[in-house]
Amino acid sequence: MKANPQQPNSPARRRSRVAMTALMLTGCGVAVLALAGSRYPEATAPRATLSGTISATLEAGAAADPRQLEEQTTELVAQCERPLLSNALDTAIKGCAGFLDHPSLGARAHAVSSSAYMLMEPNEVKKSAVHAEAATRLGNPAGKYLWAYHGLNGESAVQMDAETARRHLEEAQAAGMPKAGKLLAVLDESDACQEASQFRLLDRPAFCLLRPQLDRWLKTSGMAPRPSRQVWTDEYNPAAVLPDASSFEVSYDRDPGSGMYYPAAMGYRFAAREGRSTIELLARLGRSLSEKYGPPSRGTLPPAPGSGTAWQMAEGLQIELLRDAAGELRVRYQHPNRVQSALAHAGALQAQRDEKRAELTRRAL
């Protein structure tokens, strides 16, 4: 079966995305940083996570002889940047490795390495973030964009707040990185949403927050993250917030335009109980929801086994009190449009995995 070139992760789209990334790194006027003349303010404090690369670069001193630097730049383009353009990601990473410690070209090599790791399937986001951080600290505009991208998705080992991400993106945009404008628009949209939103969960407009912002707030509120974090879902122990609940889960959708994760649904689970304790908990949950959000718009209280009661909120949000046949209770907050989008994206991803397994089976047989 041939891949549809319009599908988000089809080979044609991937090649186009790689080409655009490579052009972004090499053809948009991104200057090569001469560390002897202009150092990024944070570069004087290299981090251990970068394996000494930055410190070695800073100790290298002044830029090389102009003719030698020109020859080395030609090698960088041939061994590091052009393979990225042709989707030879492993070759690009290997080719860039020889330039990571270069006093003038290391920033570009780190930026290309970051892009290559991010474009791999599956994505090597942690490695990409490490190289993006290195490129950022060496002043590379593409690195600033990529590190802000990882920071806003919670994929960096270093926690990044929105203000820091905005600063990196503004600097990247000023240096000729047009993609930085998309993420700046995401931050502006999130800020505007937080100001206008009437829905609050734990005193925050939860559906307006980006993934790391929501994660930090939930942990600050007392929820303990569980180690089973997945691509689309985060899970927490809410015992300190709501002792009756057994878990709190957040499901995300990923916007194909910006690559950012937005909360699509979240809510509490309550393990099945014996007899009257379930009825009492159900009544208390229904009463609390009605006092806070008004009478339900669908269903009755308490919901019968296998059914639910819903509250329709402003901004298109929906709250549900669900009771399954086995007695488990759930309070679910959802953004229906994002839920449908997340299901579609998950289905497309599963279809790609199924096709890959089918292809492997055909080859093996």
**pLDDT tens digits, one per residue of 126-146:** 999 999 999 999 999 999 999
Greater pLDDT, 66 or 114: 114
Query: Per the domain annotation, does 211 fall within a domain?
Result: yes
Query: Per the domain annotation, does 213 fall within a domain?
Result: yes
Which of the four pLDDT bands, split at 50, 70 and 90, describes residue 111?
very high
pLDDT single digits (tens) 230-253: 778 999 999 999 999 999 999 999
pLDDT of residue 140: 96
235-to-229, 269, 272 alpha-carbon distances in Å: 6, 11, 19
Query: Per the domain annotation, does 363 fall within a domain?
Result: no
Number of residues assigned to the chain: 365
Query: Per the domain annotation, does 86 fall within a domain?
Result: yes
Number of Cβ within a 10 Å radius of residue 16: 12
pTM of the model: 0.75
pLDDT of residue 48: 33
- Point out the least confidently predicted range of 56-60, 111-115, 118-122, 172-176: 56-60
Query: Per the domain annotation, does 143 fall within a domain?
Result: yes
Give the 3-state secondary structure of residue 230: coil
Number of H helices, E strands in the chain: 13, 7
Same domain, 175 and 204: no
Same domain, 88 and 139: yes
Same domain, 218 and 69: no
Could you tell me which residues are beta bridge partners of residue 234? 250
Same domain, 122 and 247: no
Same domain, 208 and 141: no
Split into its structural domains, the chain has a count of: 2
Query: Per the domain annotation, does 287 fall within a domain?
Result: yes
Q: Name the strands in the sheet holding 233-237, side by side, starting at the edge strand that comes first in the sequence.
A: 224-225, 233-237, 247-254, 261-270, 329-334, 318-323, 307-312
Cβ 5 vs Cβ 13: under 8 Å: yes
Cβ 51 vs Cβ 148: under 8 Å: no
Domain boundary, last residue among 186, 213, 235: 186
Could you tell me which residues are beta bridge partners of residue 254? 261
- pLDDT at 55 > cutoff 50: no
Residue 257: domain span: 200-342
